[in-house]
Amino acid sequence: MGFKTSRRNKIKQRGGGEIAVFTVASVIFFIFALTYIVAFLWGVIAGFKTHSDLILNPFSFPESWHPENYLDVFSLLEVNGVNMLGMVLNSFWLVAGGATLSVFGATFMAYAVTKFDFFGKKFLVVVNIIIMTLPIIGALPSRYRLFSAFGFINSPTILLAYFGGFGAFNLYMCAFFRGVSPTYSEAAKIDGANDFVILFRIMLPLAKGILTALLIMEAVSIWNDYNTALVYMPKLPTLATGIYLFNTEMTYRARMDILMAATIISALPPMILYGLGHKSILKNVSLGGIKG
Partner 1 sequence: MKRFNGESEEMDNLKASEAKIINGQKRKRAAMKYLFIISIIGFQLVNFVIFYVVQNFNSIIMAFQLKKSGGVIWTFENFSRIYNAFFGSGEKSELMISLTNTFRFFLLGLIMFPVSFVTSYFMYKKVAGHNFFRLVFFLPSILSAVVWTTLYKEIVGPEGPIVKLLMFLRNTDEPMLLLADPKHAIWTVMAYSVWMGIAGNFILYGGALSRIPPEVIEAGQLDGIGWFKEMTHVIVPLIFPTIGMLFLLQLTGIFTASGQILLLTNGAFETNTILFFIFQNVYNVPETSNQYNYASAVGIVFTLLTIPVVFLVRSLLNRIEDVQY
**Do 264 and 44 contact (CB within 8 A), yes or no?**
yes
DSSP state of 79: E
| CA–CA separation, 183 and 198 (whole Å) | 12
Report how far apart, in Å, the C-alpha atoms of 231 and of each of 91, 148, 228 are: 15, 11, 5
What is the closest distance, in whole angstroms, from the C-beta atom of residue 188 to partner 1 in the complex? 14
Please say whether the beta carbons of 236 and 154 come within 8 A.
Answer: yes
Closer to partner 1 at the Cβ: 86 or 264? Answer: 264
CA distance 42 to 264: 10
Q: Which is nearer to partner 1, 70 or 223 (CB)?
A: 223
In sequence order, what are the residues at sequence separation of 6 or more whose Cβ sits closer than 8 angstroms to the Cβ of residue 260? 43, 46, 47, 49, 54, 69
79: left (phi over 0), alpha (psi -120 to 50) or beta: beta
CB of 13 to partner 1, least distance (A): 9
Q: Which is nearer to partner 1, 150 or 184 (CB)?
A: 150
CB of 39 to partner 1, least distance (A): 5
Compute the least distance from the CB of residue 26 to partner 1, in Å.
4
269: left (phi over 0), alpha (psi -120 to 50) or beta: alpha
CA angle at 131 for the pair 162 and 113, rounded to the nearest 5° = 80
- The answer to whether the CB of 284 falls within 8 A of the CB of 217 is no
Q: How far is the CB of 78 from partner 1 (least distance, A)?
A: 17
Task: Return the exposure string of 18-45: e unless at least 16 CB atoms fall within 10 Å of the residue's CB, then b.
Answer: eeeeeeeeeeeeeeeeeeeeeeeeeeeb
* Residue 7 or 208 having the CB closest to partner 1: 7
Q: How far is the CB of 181 from partner 1 (least distance, A)?
A: 19
- Give least dist CB 63 to partner 1, A: 16
- Indicate the residue among 15 and 205 with the shorter CB distance to partner 1: 15
* Maximum separation of any 2 CA atoms in the chain, in Å: 77
